[in-house]
Amino acid sequence: MNTRSKRPNDFRHLTLDSPSTSHQRCREPKLFPKSSNTLSPPAKVLLSSGKCYRPPGRFCLDLPLDTLRTASPVFSYHPMPAIKAQFASIHSLSAGTGAPSLAEIISALSFALDLTEGAVPGHALRCCLLGMRLGNELGFSNESLADLYHALLLKDVGCSSNAARMCQIIGGGDDRAVKSGVKLEDWTRPHQPSLSSVRLLWNSVLPDGNPFRKFGRIVKIAFTQHDNNREMIQLRCDRGASIVRKIGMSEQTALAVRSLDEHWDGGGYPESEKGEAISPLARVMAVAQHLDVFALERGPAQAMQILHERSGRWFDPQVVKAAESLRRRGALWMQCLPNPTQTAGDSARSVRASVLELAPPQTTRTSPSHIDLICEAFAEVVDAKSHFTFSHSIGVTDVASAIGSTMGHNSERRQLIHRAALLHDLGKLSVPNSILDKPGKLDGEQWVIMREHAALTRSILSRVSQFRELAFVAGAHHERLDGSGYPNKLKAADLPIEARILAVADVYSAITENRPYRAGSSPEQAMEIMKREARSKLDADCVDALAKTALAPSQPSPFLVPPASAHSLSRAYHLPYPIHNSGSSISIVQ
């Protein structure tokens, strides 16, 4: 199956966000868009005007909007000179800008949440602009507006928790494509399916199945839709509310995130609440989400038309009236639609700047402990995407922190290592579970998708200026000393010690954890592999520091997972060649 052609909207730029203006400093995907015949009206405006979609970031590739949806990449690799000087510059910049505000952090990390749902990048930011305008139009108090602001940016924070279940329901298809597509369908009427919903399911369910099996799965989905919807939304909403509480948001914000999918007529989930019983913030969020999704896919006119059609059924009529009032005054869509007079990159940066201007006054600079808490919360978001990686980010953090302590790094550098380890796989939210949970070998196309995640991690984190050093380290966890890694083929002279520590911790954790295609190895087996790799790929000092902790004779390894017969470990190690275990000897087969 051509997995790429089935992927929904996502980030397709790979950036370094470096101080240099040279695009030759990064590994750039050269992408070729397909026909624009199926583009939504806003996308056609971009393409016909020569303007291109470019998610915010210092240096991104200009890509037509449909490229993000349908293109197949052809990668070209470019060397990265003077990385040491670049890293020193990033470190100086990050250290001298003070603590970021809460709004700066969550507005940047919202791009990761967009990945989870297959949304057009910047979805949460545009929803924030739309929702805050609606809240003001409805006369919300300052306190309610503050709660609404955070809820809009974090509304999808629980979405990764049901990704594996969605993949299971559709029989191994692309969960992100289905999640993205279903937002355009009226799923409350399963016995009156539209042609587009049938097409979505046909293209998504049982990708390797024959027509009879596909038809049978679609019929089963139709008859079990109510139970599936309740289960899926319950998972997402409960998890989302829990994370919102964890990072210190108000109970009203948590309730709004949990109630996002409730409908005015009581036909929503998870509690089937009705009318005024639904959180007022959630009612606004539902309308804002609808407007952005439909406007970007089908144009603002159809977004408003369907909004009115679902008024009193899905949506609070008063919120719909507020949206119509704003539209008539020309105050609804500002900065939320492609602008033919701007590049999309400039427009996207403007959107985020406007979102930051709307930040509540109490959103002040965050304390180090609060930043750590946010990093831990988003690590949980990443790990929740697959039950095979349910503790990966936390495990990598434990290992990396132990290595840093053993090597005698000071508290500032250990804090950097800790945060980079927590967030290193943020970009994996872009990978469908059909790939993450695949029990067999990944094909070439799937490897390309998997390998994009490191650059996406850096791109997302770089949106917070104080996180640029953190972004560099987190995004380099698959680089190798001999230049064989990715995404930028960095070599030993290019990699700071923090990135080397993270690479070692990630490899160790991946090899010792269970995966869908094999059971985890013992610490002894993992160290055997890593000591061999220390000759050319991994930092020998970091591997030695790990061995002192992981294999200490006085106590069991603090990173221990159940040992098993390791075989075909190449996917755990993110290598295109296999690793085999034959008795007492574990070897990499080039």
CA 12-186-275 angle, to 5 degrees, is: 115
CA distance 520 to 444: 24
Please provide the distance, in angstroms rounded to a whole number, between the alpha carbons at the two ends of the chain. 27
CB atoms within 10 A of CB 33: 18
Give the type of residue at 272. S
With a CB cutoff of 8 Å and minimum separation 6, the contacts of 499 are 472, 473, 476, 477, 479
CA distance 442 to 314: 41
Q: Select which of 179, 428, 438, 537 is catalytic.
A: 428
Q: How would you class 195 by CB atoms within 10 Å of its CB: exposed for 0-12, middle for 13-18, buried for 19 or more?
A: exposed
CA distance 543 to 539: 6
* Token digits of residue 23: 């695009």
Rg of the chain over Cα atoms, rounded to whole angstroms, equals 24
Contact 101, 1 (CB under 8 A): no
Crossing angle for the helix pair 453-461 and 102-117, nearest 10 degrees?
A: 150
Active-site residue flag, 428: yes
CA distance 142 to 557: 51
With a CB cutoff of 8 Å and minimum separation 6, the contacts of 580 are 567, 568, 586, 587, 589
CB atoms within 10 A of CB 542: 24
* Token digits of residue 231: 């289960």
CA atoms within a 13 Å half-sphere pointing along the CA-CB vector of 515 = 25
CA distance 588 to 479: 17
* Token digits of residue 527: 């160290």
State the catalytic residues: 428
